[in-house]
Amino acid sequence: MEWDLDTKLDWVAANHYDTGTPHTHIVISGKDDMGRTLTIPRGYISYGMRFEAEKLVNMELGPIVQLEYGKRLALDIDRMRYTPLDRIVLNLADGDTIDLSKAPERGTEWTRRIVVARLRKLAQMAMVEPSKGRKWILDKDVRGQLIKLGVNTDIRKIYEKVLKQSGITRSNTFDRMYEPFHRRTKPLTGKIIGIGMQDDVNDNSYIVLDTTCGKAKYVAMGRGENIEGLGRGMAVHISPADVAPKNSDYTIAKLAQERGGSYSPSAHLESDPSASNEFVQAHIRRLEAMRRAGHVNHNQDGSWEIPNDYLRDAENYEIQKAGVKPIVLKVLAREPLKNLQTVMGRTWIDEAIASGETVEDSGFGKEVKTAIIARRQFLAEQGLLETENSKINAKLLGDLESRDLKAAGNKISVALGKPYSEAPTSGRISGIYLEPIERPSGKYAIMERAKDFTLVPWRDMLERNRGKSISGIMRGNSISWTLGRDRGRGIG
């Protein structure tokens, strides 16, 4: 490539053996040897690299003889996924029909036999249908169906391997998948028993949960970055990403229905005189996004054509966007259950007791039931519960959290040289965000002020603002933050 592109290249490669097909990732720097943006012609990316790679493989391993090539294709006949043989089969299609009535060219008879064998297999899978005159009728999107089938096969293998390694047996493997966008799907609590990349080429990660409802679930997590920091044995709570149409979508649909399927900024302002230009422009930006996705049309007069099923399209658009992060995950505990039974803090076990969460007597649920009994005994021994059967109320939960944070504050106080002050449950709070800490009660942010410091619930957005002055409004466990100027400092 350096010879072809006339520049020195910086690159790094990694061999992966953790999938069904060992492969190599190669990352090339985006700069040439002069520091300029590296431009690689589209044709070279599509064909040049492959041509050079084939030459090298032929030099090292020798050319693939026809017999060997035929053997490889024959192995694809019964595969339950999209294969190189399917690429040959589908290239023979004219629309939705494959016509094999003409005799094959001399020397390709063996290929025809393999193609017919694959078509018969696809017919058994209800993806093609034989017709008169040696013709075959293709079902809709055979390639997509085969790709999906292959993914499902890989998932089943991953799922069964994880359960075997964990020493877990489940009879309900028919519903192994957690379907986040199914209307009846509910949040789940469970312990991570498997984690990894289902397809690192397309950046698809997963976790496998042993849940409190007694089932083990494969959970597609989207991009690999979504499983960073997670590990086996952690207790987590998962729920589907919000894919409901936006408020702007309901407004757009309502106005369009009133005006024969058309939306315009002027009609919006006429319908709602109190709406600001900024508010209307927010709706226009939403429509621009929907237009790029092919769901609405923008007319030359500035109006928009809105289909009758616009809200359904808006939901499908949100589902498609949520593919990169389909799950909202909250880490409940990074430690084993037995370590939480005797800690002084607001643990997720306490919250499960207080909420009356249903826990089955199987799988991870059985472990949780045992932990609940031990936790009740400990709290009664500490005088925090009258009896082991007493209710855990909001006051006790708050007290446990307060004790936990005071203990953490006393340790941090030594490092900062400042006293700890408990955060208010409401009102304005400000300070310098230093860093996060993990406690039995959850994850908290250290906020340093002029004379003291406090601990507040941690949020993702804070990590982009370490060392910065921020302020916000406290409302229980919810905070609305605003940013200030930089002031770098940490507690070492």
In sequence order, what DSSP letters do the residues of 436-450 get, joined into one string? Answer: EEEETTEEEEEEE-S
pLDDT of residue 364: 92
Could you give the CA distance from residue 395 to residue 401 in angstroms, rounded to a whole number? 10
C-alpha 11/C-alpha 333 separation (Å) is 39
Residue range 82-128, pLDDT digits in tens: 999 999 999 999 999 999 988 888 877 888 999 999 999 999 999 99
Q: Which pLDDT score, from 0 to 100, does residue 476 have?
A: 67
Instruction: For 147, list phi and psi in degrees, rounded to 5.
Output: -65, -45
pLDDT at 486 over 50: no
| pLDDT cut 70: percent of the chain above it | 96
Domain limits, the chain: 2-61, 67-140, 145-241, 247-324, 335-392, 398-486
Q: How many CA atoms lie within 13 A of 488 on its CB side?
A: 1
- 37: helix, strand or coil: strand
**Does 175 score more than 80 pLDDT?**
no
Second-level CATH architecture of 247-324: Orthogonal Bundle (1.10)
The domain defined by 67-140 folds into: Arc Repressor Mutant, subunit A (1.10.10)
Residue 238 has pLDDT above 50, yes or no: yes
Q: State pTM to two decimals.
A: 0.77
Instruction: Report which of 332, 345, 326, 327 is spatially closest to residue 190, judged by C-alpha positions.
Output: 332
Q: What is the dihedral of CA 355, 358, 360, 365, to 10 degrees?
A: -30
Instruction: Return the structure tokens found at 261.
Output: 């399927």
- Give the least confident one: 101-115, 317-331, 471-485: 471-485
Helix (H, G, I), strand (E, B) or coil at 428: strand
The token pair at 236 is: 């987590």
**Higher model confidence: residue 481 or residue 450?**
450
How high is the pLDDT of residue 492? 41
Angle at the Cα of 447 from the Cα atoms of 445 and 449, rounded to 5 degrees: 175
Cβ-based burial of 441 (10 A; exposed 0-12, middle 13-18, buried ≥19): buried
φ and ψ of 244, to 5 deg: -70, 150
Q: How far apart are CA 177 and CA 319, in angstroms?
A: 17
Q: What is the pLDDT of residue 477?
A: 66
Give the pLDDT band (50/70/90) at residue 143: very high
Please tell me the chain's helix, strand, coil percentages from 3-state DSSP, rounded to the nearest 5: 40, 25, 35
* Cα–Cα distance measured from residue 354 to residue 236, given in angstroms and rounded to the nearest whole number: 18
From residue 34, give the alpha-carbon distance in Å to each of 7, 11, 44: 8, 16, 21
Q: Is 405 exposed, middle or buried (0-12, 13-18, 19+ CB in 10 A)?
A: buried
Average pLDDT over residues 125-153: 92
pLDDT tens digits for 292-306? Answer: 999 999 999 999 999
Judge whether residue 21 has pLDDT over 90. no
More confident residue, 356 or 219: 219
pLDDT single digits (tens) 145-171? 999 999 888 899 999 999 999 988 876
Which DSSP category does 423 fall into? P
The span from the CA of 280 to the CA of 266, in Å, is 9
- Tell me, what's the pLDDT at 171? 64
Average pLDDT of span 333-342: 90
Whether 145-241 shares its CATH topology with 247-324 is answered no
Q: Domain 145-241: state its class.
A: mainly beta
> 328, 241 in Cβ contact below 8 A?
yes
Helix (H) or strand (E) holding 14, with range, is strand 11-16
In this predicted model, what pLDDT tens digit does every residue of 372-431 receive, in sequence order? 999 999 999 999 998 888 889 999 999 999 999 999 999 999 999 999 999 888 888 899
Question: Which amino acid does the sequence have at 369?
Answer: K
Which band of pLDDT confidence, cut at 50, 70 and 90, is reported for residue 489? Answer: very low
User: For position 174, what pLDDT does the model report?
Assistant: 60
